[in-house]
Amino acid sequence: MATGSSFHPGGSGSRNGPSFASPSSSSSGVPGQAQPMAVVWEWQDDQGFWRPYTGQVSSYIEQCLQQQRGAGPSSSICLAQVDPSLSAYIIDIPNLKQFRQDTGKVRAVRRSLFPQSSALGSGVLWEWANDEGGWTAYEIRTSIMLEHSYQAGQATADLSPHGYNYIVDLTALQQVNKATSYRRQVRRQVSVPYPLASGSVIHSGPACSCHQCLSNSSAAGPMLSRSRHSFTAGQANRPSLQTQSQQGRLPGTSSSSAYSPYPRRPLSMGSLLWNGPWSTPTSVAHTSGPPQAFGHHANGLSIPTIPLHMNGSSSVNSALAAPAQKPEDVIKKYMEEVPVVPDEDCIICMERLSCPSGYEVPAECSQSLQPNTVGKLSKCGHTFHMLCMLAMYNNGTKDGSLQCPSCKTIYGEKTGIQPKGKMEIYSIPQSLPGHPDCGTIQIIYNIPPGIQGPEHPNPGQPYTCRGFPRFCFLPDNDKGRKVLELLKVAWTRRLIFTVGTSSTTGEPDTVIWNEIHHKTEMMSNVSGHGYPDPNYLDNVLSELASQGVTEDCLK
């Protein structure tokens, strides 16, 4: 529904909105009698065409507006309540936007009035088969014309009056391109009749193009700005520190009650930074005195103090990893040779510790590590052939850290092979299911495709990035903010994603999650990666700890 097709009925067709009859005229020609008007809610596709919601969805939105009338500014409407197939979509009434929770895609919506007709009164929509295997609704005026032709028993309907070089065969139910003779299937869908307009429309944001708003220019207002931070390598820009009043809040809106997919302010980024000090861009006014500091407000909004300069890996060594160390030195740093060899197996090579290691001594290794040298890890005390540990280290990221293969205790600072990318953090005043007393933290990860480096499985080969940007959500409470701070540490250590084979599609050499689970749905739980989930925060804290990211990292 909300993913615009790459094909539309006419590339040069008219994009005019609905035509409106004068309130003082009517189809019967009786002076002074207003013609009945039907309400159609529409969303804008990628080509700028307005596609109608069904009569059932339009009726539901109108019912919600009627219920909210008199109760303050309208906020958000979740379409899952009316159509399960639209469970990912939320209508942001103050800003007239459709927000898709699982992808973060935002589209414009509008409330349009059309003269009542047999098509709208019957809830009929005409649709054409798109290139993605789905169906796309014609614009309302075209759908009305097709229905009139269909009801009149005509064999064809010419769409050229609407700017399209097509004829629709109403018998074969096909759309025919006049120039190429290419045919597409069309279909006639019947839903709940579109509702009749009654009363006034509740608008607290930018004016829509409905008849009432067009006749009342005072309803217009600026869109709320989207304030955000981007965390990328090579950029260290401080955000402009603005108060909410400086951002041009719309009259009648409330940051504490109205949902908006455009967060009011970014979250506090803390004081962690790497790769040099901050540099203030010339576009930001210089102020005297210390940087402004803002507190955390009860309404769920958070304002930044210091932003965070985030991830980026070079083609050879990550800027985040420890300085290059000789592998042999890393092994000796965390292991000590045992004089008495225990009577047990080495779980790496599966040979007895009293027997030589199954691995040979590397050419660059000194004579201090021999096949029969057995060492003990300093913290957990587990014992292995030191050559086996050396082989395991050389097969990993070689970041200067070790992880016990038995108990998973981490020695040093573990880093991963996550490719270069960007992490953005926002604050949204809407509550998550199961967390009614706080707002929401939104994290957006974006990693572009690229070429694998020497730390990746197939150096020199390209890697793909499917499903980016990825949108994730946390409750904006104490534990959620602690998880956020730890996720920022995990991001800088390149542990959130890795390069490997997708477990869902089987595609190799692609960017995948790295065993730190994220919630990718905000107001629903269609995929199982949404809310409510009372155990999620505790579970993700455990997963972070298994990667060596604990509260100690924040001290």
pLDDT of residue 485: 95
pLDDT band at residue 164 using 50, 70 and 90 as cut-offs:
confident
Averaged pLDDT of the chain: 73
**C-alpha 516, offset from chain centre:** 17
Task: pLDDT band for 226, please (50, 70, 90 cuts).
Answer: very low
The region, left, alpha or beta by phi > 0 then psi within -120 to 50, assigned to residue 393 is alpha
Token pair of 550 as six digits: 């604990």
**Segment 101-112 mean pLDDT:** 85
Side chain identity at residue 290, one-letter code: P
Question: How does residue 8 score in pLDDT terms, banded at 50, 70 and 90?
Answer: very low
- Residue ranges of E strands in 24-161: 37-44, 50-52, 76-78, 89-92, 97-100, 106-115, 124-129, 135-137, 156-158
| Spatial separation of the C-alpha atoms in residues 6 and 231, rounded to whole Å | 31
Confirm if 322 and 400 have CB atoms less than 8 A apart. yes
Domains delineated in the chain: 37-190 (3.30.720.50), 327-411 (3.30.40.10), 422-553 (3.30.390.130)
Task: Describe the strand order of the beta sheet including 335-337 as a list of residue ranges.
Answer: 335-337, 374-377, 383-385
Over residues 457-481, the mean pLDDT reads 92
Residue 34: how many CA atoms within 13 Å on its side-chain side? 9
pLDDT grade for 398, boundaries at 50, 70 and 90 = confident
pLDDT tens column, 113-155? 887 776 788 888 999 999 988 899 999 889 988 998 998 899 9
Judge contact between 253 and 293, C-beta under 8 A.
Answer: no
State CA 159 to chain mean position distance. Answer: 38
Query: Would you say the pTM of this structure is higher than 0.95?
Result: no
Measure Cα distances from 385 to 134, 313, 380, 399 in Å. Answer: 59, 32, 15, 20
Rounded to 5 degrees, φ, ψ at 500 are: -170, -150
Q: Give all strands (DSSP E) within 170-237, no chain letters.
A: 174-177, 183-190
- Tens-digit pLDDT profile for residues 317-340: 333 334 467 888 888 889 999 989
Q: What is the pLDDT of residues 495-520, one digit of tens each?
A: 999 999 988 788 999 999 999 999 98
Quote the pLDDT of residue 155: 93
- List Cα–Cα distances, 488 to 137, 402, 493, 496, in angstroms: 43, 21, 9, 9
Residues in the chain: 555
